[in-house]
Structure formats: C-alpha cells, structure tokens
C-alpha cells in the first residue's frame, strides 16, 4: 500500500466535517472535533512513516524489512521532527538524514516563500495538539487550524519519503 493511502480516512473525515462545521454553534463540540481530527491526523502520519521505513528496508532485504517493521511497530507517537531525525532516520545512516534535512529545508523555504506557511511549525503544532487533547482533554488548535496543519504537515511525510529513496 502506498504511504499516501494512510491519509485517505482523515481526508474523508475532513471533507465531511467541512460541510457541517459552519453550522455547529457550540464551541465545546467544535473543540472536541478539533481534538478528534488531530488524533486521526497524527495516526495517519504515524502509519505513513512506518510504511515509508518498511518499504525502504524491504527493498534492501526481506529480513531487514521484517526487522524494521517490528522495530517501528512501537513508534507510539514519537514522530516529532527531532524524533524523526534523531531516533528514526539516523538508524539508516547519515546519508539519509542529510537527504531528509536538505529536502525539508528546500520544501520549507519554497512553501514559506509562496504561502507564508511553515510546514515544520504546522507539523509540530498538530502533534502538540493531539498530545494535549489525548492527555489533558483539550486541543490547542481550532478545527480550522487542525485541518490546515494536517494538510501542510503532509509535506513533512512527503520529504521523508523522498529522502528514503536509494
């Protein structure tokens, strides 16, 4: 399965919510939707990241693919940029870490220049929002911000995928 398929369920949920969110007057319900979508979004990121690493390793060697699949089966939310760099990509060697950093730097600069959006900030904010919602019961973003951050944060995952190619 392509890693991008992992976004489909959250994309469909967002498409549905966009049609009804304007009619919701209760701010608490809107807040709960924001938390729920943040959880779904970060889950999609986690699954996509696992898929990228598993595909990379499996193309190298079947046994390596199995080992990587088991290792990343316990990723459990450790997907912040620092985690990606220091815990995950680094395991595969400096060449892939350098590729990721360069790819991300270029993508960040391009999107900042055209849209004034920091994909790194949006990605981090969404992960923080999910964490706060799951562990404290309130999201740190509005539903609109969660949706925007999910879309721009996907670029981080695309950069990872580009970096993990031979």
Report the C-alpha gap between 130 and 152 in whole angstroms: 16
**Percentage with pLDDT > 90 across the chain:** 81
CA quadruple 32, 38, 41, 46: dihedral sign: negative
| DSSP string computed for the chain | --GGGGGHHHHHHHHHHHHHGGG---HHHHHHHHHHHHHHHHHHHHHHHHHHHHHHHHHH-HHHHHHHHHHHTT-TT--SHHHIIIIIGGGG-HHHHHHHHHHHHHHHHHHHHHH---HHHHHHHHHHHHHHHHHHS--SS-HHHHHHHHHHHHHHHHHHHHHT--
Decide: 162 and 3 in contact? Cβ < 8 Å. no
Domain that residue 139 falls in: 3-163
State how many domains the chain has.
1
pLDDT in tens, 63-97: 877 877 777 777 777 999 999 999 899 999 999 99
Q: What's the rounded mean pLDDT across residues 37-62?
A: 92
d(CA 70, CA 139): 31
State the residue for tokens 């996907």: 154
Report the pLDDT value the prediction gives residue 68, as an integer from 0 to 100. 75
pLDDT single digits (tens) 92-144: 999 999 999 999 999 999 999 999 999 999 999 999 999 999 999 999 999 99
Distances (CA, A) of 69 to 6, 46, 136, 160: 16, 13, 31, 17
Put simply, whether the predicted model's pTM sits higher than 0.85 gets the answer yes
């Amino acid at each position: 399965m392509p890693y991008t398929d992992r976004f489909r369920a959250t994309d469909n949920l967002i498409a549905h919510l966009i049609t009804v969110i304007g009619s919701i007057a209760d701010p608490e319900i809107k807040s709960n939707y924001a938390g729920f979508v943040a959880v779904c979004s970060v889950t999609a990121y986690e699954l996509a990241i696992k898929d990228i690493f598993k595909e990379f390793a499996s193309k190298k060697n079947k046994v390596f693919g199995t080992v990587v699949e088991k290792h990343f089966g316990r990723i459990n939310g450790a997907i912040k940029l620092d985690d990606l760099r220091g815990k995950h990509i680094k395991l595969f060697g400096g060449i892939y870490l350098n590729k990721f950093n360069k790819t991300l730097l270029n993508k960040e600069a391009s999107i900042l220049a055209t849209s004034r959006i920091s994909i790194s900030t949006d990605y981090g904010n969404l992960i923080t929002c999910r964490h706060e919602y799951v562990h404290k019961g309130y999201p740190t973003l509005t539903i609109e911000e969660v949706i925007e951050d999910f879309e721009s944060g996907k670029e981080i995952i695309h950069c990872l995928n580009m970096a993990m190619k031979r």
